[in-house]
């Protein structure tokens, strides 16, 4: 029997990652936890007092290496199977899906702009580099204009339902939900022969030139 695994695309301030709900996790697996900030506190049990605590730093917000623990805050860890555009292929997505997740094919846009212009190679390079600057400046932008409109409407609705004393908590939870940019995705998959499971086959994301291909946003 083939075990079905769910995959999610997450948009972090530093870029995109794809995770799976594959279990069990093994010590050293790269995982994602939305409850963990980019800057966090590590504990060294070999030391005493304040010396036990030190600042750590993750390359991407909430992404770190798994360590087995019984602390419930880590129960929602998901295994990271790909990160950044160097490991994720978005090219099969529809235009609507691309807009939904906020991803743009910069190469394709550059080709459309450059066309047959003289010195097109250099114009294209300039276009791509110029496109990356506002992307970087907006990388920590948590809300879109549509999010703000939705939050305003949500606040009005909640106020009529529960009154002003409960309003702050209700709207606070709603705004927090907007910060979690995550989508269930369908990936291109392949069957791989193995002796470790019943039936002799396992189902894995296909790797093309080191990239996992997203087929669609579900």
Mark out the alpha helices in the chain (DSSP H runs): 95-101, 106-114, 120-137, 145-162, 164-179
Question: Would you state the pLDDT for residue 187?
Answer: 96
Q: Write down the domain spans for the chain.
A: 7-217
Nearest-CA neighbor of 43 among 26, 55, 31? 55
Give yes or no for residue 33 having a pLDDT over 70: yes
Residue 151 has phi, psi (to 5 degrees) of -65, -40
DSSP-assigned letter for residue 188: -
Question: Would you state the pLDDT for residue 216?
Answer: 94
Instruction: For residue 56, name the pLDDT band (cuts at 50, 70, 90).
Output: low
Mark out the alpha helices in 11-105 (DSSP H runs): 95-101
Instruction: For residue 168, name the pLDDT band (cuts at 50, 70, 90).
Output: low
Question: Would you state the pLDDT for residue 112?
Answer: 73
Q: Percent helix, strand and coil across the chain, each rounded to 5?
A: 35, 30, 40
Give yes or no for residue 184 having a pLDDT over 90: yes
Buried b / exposed e over 29-66, threshold 16 CB at 10 Å, is bbbbbbebebeeeeeeeeeeeeeeeeeeebebbbbbeb
Q: Higher pLDDT residue, 132 or 124?
A: 124
């Amino acid at each position: 029997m083939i075990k079905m695994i769910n995959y999610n695309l997450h948009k972090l301030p530093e870029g995109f990652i794809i995770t799976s709900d594959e279990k069990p996790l093994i010590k050293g697996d790269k995982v994602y936890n939305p409850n963990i900030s980019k800057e966090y506190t590590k504990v060294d049990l070999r030391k005493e007092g304040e010396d036990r605590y030190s600042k750590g730093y993750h390359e991407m917000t909430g992404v770190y290496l798994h360590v087995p623990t019984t602390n419930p805050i880590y129960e929602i860890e998901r295994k990271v199977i790909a990160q950044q555009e160097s490991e994720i292929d978005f090219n099969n997505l529809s235009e609507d899906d691309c807009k939904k997740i906020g991803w743009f094919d910069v190469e394709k846009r550059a080709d459309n702009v450059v066309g047959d212009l003289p010195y097109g190679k250099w114009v294209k390079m300039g276009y791509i580099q110029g496109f990356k600057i506002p992307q970087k400046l907006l990388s920590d932008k948590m809300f879109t204009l549509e999010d703000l409109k939705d939050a305003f409407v949500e606040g009005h609705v909640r106020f009529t339902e529960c009154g002003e004393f409960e309003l702050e908590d209700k709207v606070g939870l709603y705004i927090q939900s907007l910060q979690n940019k995550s989508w269930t995705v369908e990936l291109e998959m392949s069957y791989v022969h193995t002796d470790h499971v019943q039936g002799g086959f396992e189902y894995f994301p296909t790797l093309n030139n080191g990239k996992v291909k997203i087929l669609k946003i579900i």
